[in-house]
Chain A
Amino acid sequence: MSFIRTISESEATGTTKAIYEKTLANLRPSVRKRRGNRLPPIVKIFGLRPELLEARVGFDKGIYRPGTSGLGRRREELIATQVAALSDCKF
């Protein structure tokens, strides 16, 4: 349960709906299957401000760019996991 309201897949309209669908389509098949074809909650929080959601998706692609660092996915995930642990973040 998030601390603020989220926009569910069925509530989404317009830009939010389009970005949701695109984000879901871009998830790795194994992740999509594990998640039961549902978006991660972090994405649905941004549904409150579609333009910010769009910028955030672009930020992931342009700055974080998982899979493009040259470190390999395993090392990238190790870094992400360590940062999450240090931040006391369950994700």
Chain B
Amino acid sequence: MSRLRTVSGNRFEDILRAAPGALEADAAMYRQIKTGITQRLYSLIGVTVAGLLGLERLVESVQGPLDDITASQVAREWSSAPLTEMEKAVLSYTEKGTLDEGSVRQRDVDALREAGMDDAHILTIATAIAYHNYVLRAAAVFDVIPRREVS
């Protein structure tokens, strides 16, 4: 049972339903992030954030198309998972953006450019990191389940 009284159920969306317009605003943000990033990359970021925040119990809800072994490995230690160089650059940025955001420097963003991303793509990735942090932290403090990513 959620720590917060929800309109119904025990899901993140139920909390948003309590505030007029919140569910729609969240859905629009989610949709726009997803149009600028692949499902695999979106899920890799989500699983990494869940692992870094110690929220392994929520990995299943954000892993999307990732198989259980890969998701578990990424959540535990993404740097040892079988990932492309581009994915590793994104997850390195994800780690800094989640645990030590004040330490992000130009060279961290340049590493993404060197991995082949343009600035609009980097903006979307940074927004996906922030969004996953928001959803997963809110889910943890309210003890609700985030929106389940379809595989």
Contact = CB atoms under 8 A, between A and B. Distances in A.
B35 A51 contact: yes
Contacts of B103: 88
Interface residues of A, number: 21
Contact of A89 (B21, B26, B102, B127): B102
Contacts of B127: 52, 56
Interface string B85-124: 0000000000000001111111011000000000110111
A65 B106 contact: no
Contacts of A4: 109, 119, 122-123
A65 to B, nearest CB: 7
B22 interface: yes
Contacts of A58: 24-25, 28-29
B32 interface: yes
A76 to B, nearest CB: 15
B19 interface: yes
A20 to B, nearest CB: 16
Contact of B32 (A5, A51, A61): A51
A45 B106 CA distance: 15
Interface string B16-43: 1001011011101101110110000000
B36 to A, nearest CB: 6
B31 A55 contact: yes
The 6 closest A-B pairs by CB, nearest first: A62-B25, A88-B102, A55-B32, A3-B109, A4-B119, A62-B21
Interface of A: 3-5, 45-46, 48-49, 51-52, 54-56, 58-59, 61-63, 65, 87-89
